[in-house]
C-alpha cells in the first residue's frame, strides 16, 4: 500500500500537470527572473538566539482542518510583529488547503524571507516558487533520490534561494549532509506514517554538523517545547498548528523566540 507521502505526491503531480499546461516553464522562468533578488533565508536563520519560522497552515493530513485563515497576509504580519525570522506558507491544496495565492499574499505583506512549503519533486516547482517571490524552498529527502535532490539543491542555489532540506531518520540525515545541505530540518513527524516522535530531533541533531543550520519541525506546542529543542541544538523551529490555533500568534512567536535565549 502506498505511504501517506506517496499519496500526497501523486496528488501534487496531478495538480502540477495542470499548472504546467496553464503556465509553460519558459513563461515561469521569465516571471522568476523579473523578481527582486531573493532574501537571505539562511542568514536570517543564523541570527543569534532561536529563530522561529511561523507557518500559515489551514489544515493537515493528520489533524484535518486547523484554522480558518481568511487573510494570510494579516496573519503573516502578526508573525512578523512577534519577531518571526521567516514565514512559511503551505501551497499544497489537497491535504493542507494551501495555494500559491496564499504565497502571493504573504510575499506582498512582509519583508521577511518566505518559505514555500510543498512537496517539491521537479525543477518546475523551484522556478514556480521564485516566480511567486519565495526565498526558501522545502526539499524533502524522503521524496527524492540523490540525483533529484542534488539537481533541485543546485537550482535553488542558482536562483539565489535557500533550500531547507528535511530529514526524519539517520539515513536521510546522512544523505542530506553528504550532498552539502547547509540548512537541515529534522521533522519529528514521519511523513510516511504521520506518526510523531518528539525525540527525533535530539536523536538526529548530533549527525548534523554545527556549521549547518538545524531546524526542528513538528510537534512543537509551546515555548517550553521550543526551549527544549534549543537545548538539544536547534537553531530554529518551524511551527504551524500551535500558532494558528493558539489565539495570539504574535505573543506565541515572541515566547518561542525568547525561550531560546537561555539555552
Q: Which residues are catalytic?
A: 55, 57, 117, 166, 187, 217-218
- 51-56 and 236-239 strand pairing: parallel
DSSP state of 189: B
On the 0-12 / 13-18 / 19+ scale of CB atoms within 10 A, 178 is exposed
Measured in whole angstroms, the distance separating CA 61 from the mean position of its chain's CA atoms is 16
C-alpha 120/C-alpha 116 separation (Å) is 10
Apex CA 252: angle with CA 246 and CA 253, to 5°? 130
Place of cell 518566505: 114
C-alpha 81/C-alpha 49 separation (Å) is 17
C-alpha 136/C-alpha 153 separation (Å) is 11
Amino acid at each position: 500500500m502506498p505511504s501517506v507521502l506517496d499519496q500526497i505526491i501523486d496528488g501534487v503531480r496531478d495538480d502540477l500537470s495542470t499548472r504546467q499546461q496553464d503556465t509553460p516553464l519558459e513563461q515561469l522562468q521569465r516571471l522568476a527572473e523579473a523578481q527582486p533578488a531573493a532574501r537571505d533565508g539562511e542568514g536570517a536563520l543564523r541570527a543569534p538566539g532561536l529563530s522561529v519560522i511561523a507557518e500559515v497552515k489551514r489544515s493537515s493530513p493528520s489533524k484535518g482542518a486547523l484554522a480558518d485563515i481568511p487573510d494570510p497576509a494579516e496573519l503573516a504580519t502578526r508573525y512578523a510583529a512577534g519577531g518571526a525570522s521567516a514565514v512559511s506558507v503551505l501551497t499544497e491544496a489537497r491535504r493542507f488547503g494551501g495555494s500559491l495565492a496564499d504565497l502571493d499574499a504573504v510575499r506582498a505583506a512582509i519583508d521577511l524571507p518566505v518559505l514555500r512549503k510543498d512537496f517539491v519533486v521537479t525543477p518546475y516547482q523551484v522556478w514556480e516558487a521564485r516566480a511567486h517571490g519565495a526565498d526558501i524552498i522545502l526539499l524533502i529527502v524522503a521524496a527524492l533520490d540523490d540525483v533529484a535532490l542534488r539537481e533541485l539543491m543546485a537550482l535553488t542555489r542558482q536562483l539565489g534561494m535557500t533550500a531547507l532540506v528535511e530529514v526524519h531518520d539517520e539515513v536521510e540525515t546522512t544523505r542530506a549532509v553528504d550532498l552539502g545541505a547547509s540548512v537541515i530540518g529534522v521533522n519529528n513527524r514521519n511523513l510516511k506514517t504521520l506518526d510523531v516522535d518528539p525525540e527525533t530531533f535530539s536523536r538526529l541533531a548530533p549527525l548534523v554538523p554545527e556549521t549547518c543550520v538545524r531546524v526542528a519541525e513538528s510537534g512543537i506546542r509551546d515555548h517550553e517545547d521550543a526551549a527544549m529543542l534549543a537545548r538539544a541544538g536547534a537553531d530554529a523551529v518551524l511551527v504551524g498548528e500551535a500558532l494558528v490555533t493558539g489565539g495570539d500568534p504574535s505573543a506565541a512567536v515572541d515566547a518561542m523566540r525568547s525561550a531560546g535565549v537561555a539555552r
